[in-house]
Amino acid sequence: MPLTLHAAIRLLSDHDLLSKVVRGTGLAQDIPDDMMRHVTDPHVDAGIIVDRVEALTAAIGDARRHPERHDIVLVIGKGHERWIKDRNRHMPYEGDDKVVARLLSEPLE
């Protein structure tokens, strides 16, 4: 039986960051809050960073600083789109592809 995203998070994560995923008139916090209710394992360090670029920066930076953990950073939802919809308005966004490429090309601190 295939796992849902929520089930995969519960089974496989030691740490989880949820970011801004907004559809229609929804508020930026609605979907991450809903997803957090499904992270029930007390050993999972889960948190929400609403700003998508900040969330990607935190997740990728943490993974790069700890190569011994073999982290997987799952970036889904925006891909090459150059906008984020927030309260029925299209807001400019550089795109996950550009953000991830930039973050991976930066030297480690």
Strands (E), the chain: 15-18, 45-48, 83-86, 89-92
pLDDT under 50: residue ranges of the chain: 1, 3, 20-26
Look up the pTM and report it.
0.70
pLDDT at 24: 42
- Among residues of the chain, what percentage have pLDDT more than 70? 72
pLDDT at 6: 54
pLDDT at 5: 55
What radius of gyration, in Å, describes the C-alpha atoms of the chain? 15
pLDDT at 9: 56
